Amino acid sequence: MQAMVFDKPGSPLRLVTMAVPEPYPTQVLVKITACGVCRTDLHVIDGELPHPKLPLVPGHEIVGTVVRTGKNVISLKQGDVIGIPWLGYTCGVCRYCLRQQENLCEKALFTGYTMDGGYAEYTVAYEQFCFSLAAQYAGPEGTPLLCAGLIGYRSYVMTGSNVRRLGIYGFGAAAHILIQVARHQGVEVYAFTRDGDKGSQDFALRMGATWAGDASARPPEVLDAAIIFAPAGELVPSALQSVDKGGVVVCGGIHMSDIPSFPYRLLWEERVIRSVANLTRKDGHDFLQLAPAVAIRTETQHFSLSQANEALDALRKGRIKGAAVLVM
């Protein structure tokens, strides 16, 4: 099969021909239809996340078809269309797994980071960590749901239940999905983009944002909560300044530049800063059930497998409206 392989930080991915992987007894072999390109892939490739598997096939927003099942696979069969997310495996017995926090599992494996992922024609995945997909998400347009959508949804849930005005910092793949959920629930969205990025601000307004502006600006209304998807630590004090008493600021990314110091009064009055790490399978089931009910539509920009470096570069430069997807 063909795959794009990451060898070391600083060098571009390499197109290689390699053996199709063999599934373990509890895994399925999947022929990949498409794989989304996520900002986390950039963090892996830039060496910002420790100890990736090397060499590595990146990619963790995979839609594909089961072509073979390991001998202990129960619920999936040949021909099933499935989604493979970032969370690839958990141990089931550590203290986090036992208290419904498998996203923090000590022995977790992550697709396209500590296991090979979806920048390839085939991959293997543990049956228990695959999701079935509604028919409308069985192609490239389904891929962004599997990380951008899921992590966005987990972040959204973490903002609490009293949110009427939500700030979103960074209007990329996650935000363009999340805004549809928020609007569906009657929540107003205030979108913050890189300063002067009119294109993304127009995109946010088109997607239903009440207001869109520069990340350095103050919103016209005080916000009940904010989610930061952009990997820029300086947005944290900014977001705190824009949220009401008791408001939550959720950092939704896996990596962020350093957060500058700020006066205690920005945190005072029970404002909360928190991060969101990975996902649980419950998040996946909840969100993928909600997606067709909200009728979430994704905007995708397609690249071929061998164009993975170009897709990553476009994402890095903020040139993708919606989500970049490799279509095999």
What is the binding site for Zn ion (CB under 5 A)? Answer: 38, 40, 90-91, 94, 97, 105, 147
Task: Give least dist CB 265 to Zn ion, A.
Answer: 34
Task: Give least dist CB 312 to Zn ion, A.
Answer: 13
Q: Give the Cα separation of 11 and 17 in Å (integer).
A: 18
Nearer to Zn ion, 38 or 251 (CB): 38
Q: Classify residue 220 as exposed, middle or buried by CB count within 10 Å of its CB (0-12, 13-18, 19+).
A: exposed
Task: Give least dist CB 119 to Zn ion, A.
Answer: 13
C-beta separation of 175 from 191 below 8 A: yes
Task: Give least dist CB 102 to Zn ion, A.
Answer: 6
Nearer to Zn ion, 212 or 315 (CB): 315
Nearer to Zn ion, 40 or 300 (CB): 40
Rg (CA), the chain: 19
Q: Give the Cα separation of 105 and 111 in Å (integer).
A: 14
Residues 6+ apart with CB under 8 A from 109: 88, 89, 115
Nearer to Zn ion, 37 or 204 (CB): 37
Token pair for residue 6? 């990451």
Nearer to Zn ion, 111 or 238 (CB): 111
Closest CA to 142 of 185, 81, 86, 203: 81
Task: Give least dist CB 108 to Zn ion, A.
Answer: 7
Nearer to Zn ion, 40 or 201 (CB): 40
Task: Give least dist CB 104 to Zn ion, A.
Answer: 8
What is the dihedral sign for C-alpha 160, 165, 167, 173?
positive
Query: β-strand 323-327 against 300-304: which pairing, if any?
Result: parallel
